Structure 1
C-alpha cells in the first residue's frame, strides 16, 4: 500500500539523524512517509523519488509546489529500469518496496544501488506472512516475495560494508552503510 506501518520509523529516524545525508533517493515513496519524517530534521537535502505508479504523484502531492516541497525530483518509472546515477546518493530508501518484486530482482537492485555508489541504504520489508494483491487499481502493490529477515541479513552482508537491523513484530528494517 502507499502507506507504511509505523513500526521501525523511530529507529530509522535515529539513523538518519546520525548520518544526516545531503542527497536521498526514495524508491516507491507512496504517500511520502520518509520525506515527511526526515525532511524536518535536516534542511537542504536534495530529495529524489522513483515512483512506479504515476497516479500517486498527484494523489499524494509528491511534486514540489510553491507552498510545500516533498520531492525535488520525481522519476515515474520502474526502479529496475532506472539509470544508475539516481542511486549515487548519500541514502537510498527502499521502504516497503522489495517485497513487490521477485527476490532475484530485489537482490539485483540492491547490488546496482551499491555499485552506483550509494553510501547508505535503508530497507524495510514485512517479516511476517503478508499476502497482498492489487490495491486501488495499482497492480504494483502486489506482494511477490515474502522476505525472511535472516535472508535479508545475508543479502545485505554480501554487499560488504556494515549492516544494522531492527526486527519488529511486522516489519524488519535494515540500515546498510558503505565503509570507505
Structure 2
C-alpha cells in the first residue's frame, strides 16, 4: 500500500531529530509519509524520492511546488535497484515499507548498495508478521514478495557494520542503521 501504519513512526522521528540529516533519499515514498512526518522536525533538508510507480507521483503530489513544502525537492521515477549510486550518497536513506516488495536477495543487495554508495544512515521499516498483499490500485509493485522476520533483518543490517538500533512493534519492525558506531 502507498500508506503505512503509525507503528514505529514516533521512534523514527526521534532518531531523525537526533541525527539531523541534511540530505535524504526516500525509496518508495508512496504517499510521502516520511517527508510529511520528518520535514517539520529539521528544516533545510534536501529530499530526494525514488518512486517506481509513476501514477503515485501525481496522485500524491510528491513533487515539491511553491505552494507545498511537505514533499520532495527531487523525484526519480525508476526502480531503486537500477538507480545510480549517487542517489544513495545521502545522510539518510529511507526504505519505509518497501523491502518486502522485492525478493530478499534484491533487498539485501539494495541495502548494501546504499551503504557502499556512502550513505550515513539507513532507516528500514518492514512488516514482521505475515502480511500477504497483492497488486493495489493498479500497482503490481505493491505485492508482498518476501516476508521478513525481525531476526533476519537484524542479521542483514548487522552485516553492514556500524550501529543498529531496533524497534519491534506488533506489526512492523523498524531499524536505524548508522555508519557511526
Runs of 5+ consecutive residues of structure 1 not aligned to the other structure: none
Where do 1:102-113 residues align within 5 Å?
Answer: 102-113=103-114
Who is 1:68 aligned against? 68
Give a deviation string over 1:76-119, Cα, whole Å, max 9, x none: 00000000000000000000000000000000000000000000
User: Distance between the aligned counterparts of 2:86 and 2:65, measured in 1?
Assistant: 25
Q: CA deviation at 1:65?
A: 1.2
User: Distance between the aligned counterparts of 1:92 and 1:176, measured in 2?
Assistant: 10
Asked if residue 51 in structure 1 is aligned to residue 36 in structure 2, the reply is no
Who is 2:78 aligned against? 77
Q: CA deviation at 1:179?
A: 2.4
Asked if residue 21 in structure 1 is aligned to residue 21 in structure 2, the reply is yes
Q: Structure 1 runs of 4+ off > 2 angstroms?
A: none
Who is 2:137 aligned against? 136
Q: TM-score, normalised by structure 1?
A: 0.99
Who is 1:9 aligned against? 9
Count of aligned pairs between the two proteins: 180
User: Distance between the aligned counterparts of 1:135 and 1:11, measured in 2?
Assistant: 28
Q: SS of the residue aligned with 1:77?
A: coil
Q: TM-score, normalised by structure 2?
A: 0.98
